[in-house]
């Protein structure tokens, strides 16, 4: 089992990574608190009885939400809180987030507001949540007006990453997680990028050694960044590589067409094209990036979306400055740079000569 320590301003917490941690770790927890385990219907179906068996010695309650982004809303938070009040959860009791990023964000947010904040444990079950969302303390729920519009920075007490659970993950969700892994590689660690490229088949086949090493590598990068900039005032922004376009694509398709990771892959693909045209990366490296993404077999075509609407959505990005849109772009191997572009510049750089096909 690997251990990484995340040091943030007010506290520090461990991330444990390894195989079969559900079986080998949870049974060892000795704690007299009440636990509210929050999970979704898919995970409950696959792991419900195993969890019950491993955690049966604890004072355990369970709240199962419908799988999917739709559950990540304030109404679900209210329902969970009502349930916790019914069972007289106190400030000393705990929440466990057992699931993907949806569950982590929802449960983390609930923990941060219940009685002004109670402890919570992250047990992420998707690749995306293991390498990204379970670490760093961003929690939140969606509003009809927009994604993650209500949220907090609230760190977990501990993160337990069992890479064995990825075996039951649908291929599409696995590829989605690879999107965030490639992001880390391009952003800070060229060797990680090459490692994924070279071992893609092993990753897709959930080779435990390869997956564990990748998850550890990504968590180390995220822990380092979060320790330097917990509230995203500077360097944490780099994690938004590929995300300016990704967020616009997710919104334009009403979060129905792409998973978050797929949108990030498409974002990285097209934003790398901008970086190449701005002279931030060489042709050869650009080809490495696009070929790696193409190998995943997702469609990177965006010409069917309205460029006007897409640009309008990008204008809402929190990182924008003086009416210019912020992009975190690849700038050399394992490096990124924040660049501000006008709508006109983006149209030209993204569309090149084919403007008429994207209107
Ligand atoms: N807080 C952050 O820093 C942060 C970062 C990135 C993304 N996010 C958020 O994360 C969410 C996306 O997370 P996600 O991609 O994990 O999606 P998700 O939580 O919806 O999980 C994807 C699907 O996989 C299923 N699933 C989960 N684990 C499984 C397993 N082991 N076996 C079989 N099926 C399993 C789920 O039931 C669901 O259907 C979004 O809401 C996004 O906003 C948050
Ligand atoms: Zn992301």
pLDDT one-digit tens code per residue, 86-101: 999 999 999 999 999 9
Ligand with an atom nearest the CA of residue 180? 2
Q: Is 169 in the pocket of ligand 1 (CB under 6 A)?
A: yes
Residues paired with 2 in a beta bridge: 17
The confidence score (pLDDT) of residue 21 equals: 93
Atom number of ligand 1 nearest to Cα 124: 28
The confidence score (pLDDT) of residue 357 equals: 40
Of the chain, the percentage scoring pLDDT greater than 70 comes to: 98
* Mean local confidence (pLDDT), 307-336: 88
pLDDT at 145 over 50: yes
The confidence score (pLDDT) of residue 352 equals: 65
Contact by Cβ (8 Å): 181, 214: yes
Atom number of ligand 1 nearest to Cα 108: 1
* Mean local confidence (pLDDT), 136-141: 96
Residue nearest to atom 11 of ligand 1 (CA): 101
CATH architecture of 172-357: Up-down Bundle (1.20)
Position of tokens 């064995």?
164
The Cα–Cα gap between 259 and 169 comes to 14
Q: Helix axis angle, 260-277 relative to 283-294, nearest 10°?
A: 160
pLDDT digits (tens, 9 = 90+) for 57-83: 999 999 999 999 999 999 999 999 999
Ligand with an atom nearest the CA of residue 105? 1
Nearest Cα to Cα of residue 149 among 135, 139, 162, 164: 139
The Cα–Cα gap between 295 and 288 comes to 11
pLDDT at 33 over 80: yes
Residue nearest to atom 3 of ligand 1 (CA): 133
Burial readout 244-279 (b: 16 or more C-beta within 10 A, e: otherwise): bbbbbbbbbeebeebbbbbbbbbbbbbbbbbbbebe
Nearest Cα to Cα of residue 263 among 175, 143, 137, 166: 175
Query: For the chain, percent helix, then strand, then coil, each to nearest 5?
Result: 50, 20, 30
CA of 285 to the centre of ligand 1 (A): 30
The Cα–Cα gap between 160 and 221 comes to 17
Asked whether this chain's domains 2-165 and 172-357 adopt the same fold, the reply is no
The confidence score (pLDDT) of residue 319 equals: 75
pLDDT digits (tens, 9 = 90+) for 281-313: 999 999 999 999 999 999 999 989 988 888 888
The confidence score (pLDDT) of residue 271 equals: 97
The Cα–Cα gap between 268 and 257 comes to 17
CA of 29 to the centre of ligand 2 (A): 31
Q: Is 72 in the pocket of ligand 1 (CB under 6 A)?
A: yes
CA of 337 to the centre of ligand 2 (A): 17
pLDDT digits (tens, 9 = 90+) for 215-273: 999 999 999 999 999 888 889 999 999 999 999 999 999 989 999 999 999 999 999 99
pLDDT at 213 over 50: yes
Regarding pTM above 0.85, the answer is yes
CA of 101 to the centre of ligand 1 (A): 4
Q: Is 132 in the pocket of ligand 1 (CB under 6 A)?
A: yes
CATH code of the domain made up of 2-165: 3.40.50.1970
The confidence score (pLDDT) of residue 78 equals: 98
Q: What size, in residues, is the chain?
A: 359
The Cα–Cα gap between 46 and 183 comes to 29
The confidence score (pLDDT) of residue 112 equals: 98
pLDDT at 24 over 90: no
The domain spans of the chain are 2-165, 172-357
* Mean local confidence (pLDDT), 120-128: 98
């Amino acid at each position: 089992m690997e251990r990484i320590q995340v040091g943030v301003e007010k506290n520090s917490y461990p991330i444990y990574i390894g195989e079969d941690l559900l079986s080998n770790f949870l049974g060892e927890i000795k704690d007299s608190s009440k636990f509210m385990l929050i999970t979704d219907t898919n995970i409950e179906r696959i792991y419900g009885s195993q969890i019950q068996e491993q955690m049966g010695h604890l004072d355990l309650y369970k709240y199962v939400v419908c799988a999917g982004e739709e559950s990540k809303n304030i109404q679900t938070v209210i329902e969970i809180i009502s349930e916790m009040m019914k069972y007289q959860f106190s400030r000393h009791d705990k929440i466990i987030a057992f699931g993907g990023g949806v569950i982590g964000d929802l449960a983390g947010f609930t923990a941060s507001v219940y009685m002004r904040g109670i402890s919570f444990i992250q047990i992420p079950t998707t690749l995306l949540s293991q390498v990204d969302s379970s670490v760093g303390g961003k929690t939140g729920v969606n509003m009809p007006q927009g994604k993650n519009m209500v949220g907090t920075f609230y760190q977990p007490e501990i993160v337990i990453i069992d890479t064995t659970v990825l075996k039951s993950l649908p291929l599409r969700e696995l590829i989605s997680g690879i999107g965030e892994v490639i992001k880390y590689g391009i952003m800070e660690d060229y060797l990680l990028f090459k490692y994924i490229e070279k071992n893609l088949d092993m990753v897709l086949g959930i080779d435990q050694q390869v997956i564990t090493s990748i998850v550890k590598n990504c968590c180390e990068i995220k822990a380092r960044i979060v320790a330097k900039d917990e509230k995203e005032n500077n360097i944490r922004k780099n994690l938004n590589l590929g995300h300016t376009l990704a967020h616009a694509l997710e919104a334009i398709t009403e979060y129905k067409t792409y998973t978050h990771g797929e949108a990030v892959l498409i974002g990285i693909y097209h934003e790398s094209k901008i970086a190449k045209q701005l002279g931030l990366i060489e042709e050869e490296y650009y080809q490495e990036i696009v070929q790696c993404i193409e190998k995943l077999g997702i469609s990177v075509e965006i010409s069917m979306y309205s460029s006007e609407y897409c640009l309008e959505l990008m204008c809402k990005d929190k990182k924008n400055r003086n009416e210019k849109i912020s992009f975190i772009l690849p700038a050399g191997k394992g490096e990124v740079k924040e660049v501000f572009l006008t709508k006109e510049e983006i149209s030209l750089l993204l569309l090149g000569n084919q403007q008429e096909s994207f209107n």
